[in-house]
Amino acid sequence: MPEHAPVALITGSAHRLGARTAQILQERGWNIAIHYRNREDQAHSLAESMNQQRPNSAVALQADLSNITDIRRLGTEAAAQWGRLDALVNNASVFYPNPTPEATEDDWDSIMHTNLKAPFFLLQACLPALRASSGSVVNLIDIYSEKPLADHPLYCASKAGLAALTRSWAKDLAPEVRVNGVSPGAILWPEGDAAVDVGYQSIILAKTPLNRTGTPDDIARTIVFLLAEAPFITGQIISVDGGRSLNM
């Protein structure tokens, strides 16, 4: 393995979109810091699988993104693992409905801390290493950051804030560091308490010109493009939504 292999830290990358992004980058010769909060078994299994393909190409790092000490430690550990950091992908996110009349301060803290506060302070912790490598940042936003989803005011506000940070950072951190965003549409339906029923899924698809959900690869390849193949792109947010944002 070449010592100069580029390194990416991807938050929330033990499963779903984050894991697929990690796999594609690793296949392209990158080393990957896989962040997880509670999915320890999945994160270590993913890292083990990658290291079987290419030794010492992945590591699993635990951190609670609602804890500022953990956030700063994560940035330090990721940069120290291979002595460099070339990319930060802020993928971890909290998503669930919270209608305004019922929303609590705990809801505010849970969503804003993970979706907005953590990306800010994690980038701050990673910034010296990213500057040293002329690195790149990709933030996972959402098409609902521009046209809000009903009964999700805190989630939509957090993603709109992350979109604003993306553009602000692109100006403030240039020319050393590029910063872009990706806004997924219907890719993987939410899980757990945030799951949506089949009827609502049909409504979403009816408003999507391509008339289907996307795949994790659609998002992962767009992230990889912005990190590795777009040296003159910064401050942009790409909607990967099958055209859904045309009909919202």
- Go through 71-97 and write b for each residue having 16 or more CB atoms within 10 A of its CB, e for each that does not: bbebbebbbebbebbbbbbbbbbbbbb
Contact criterion met (CB below 8 Å) for 89 and 188: no
As annotated, the active-site residues are: 155
Residues written for the chain: 248
- Strands 136-140 and 87-90 come out as parallel
CB proximity list for 99: less than 8 A, separation 6 or greater = 151, 153
Candidates 104, 73, 109, 72; CA nearest to 94 is 109
The tokens for 175 are 């020319």
Contact criterion met (CB below 8 Å) for 181 and 146: no
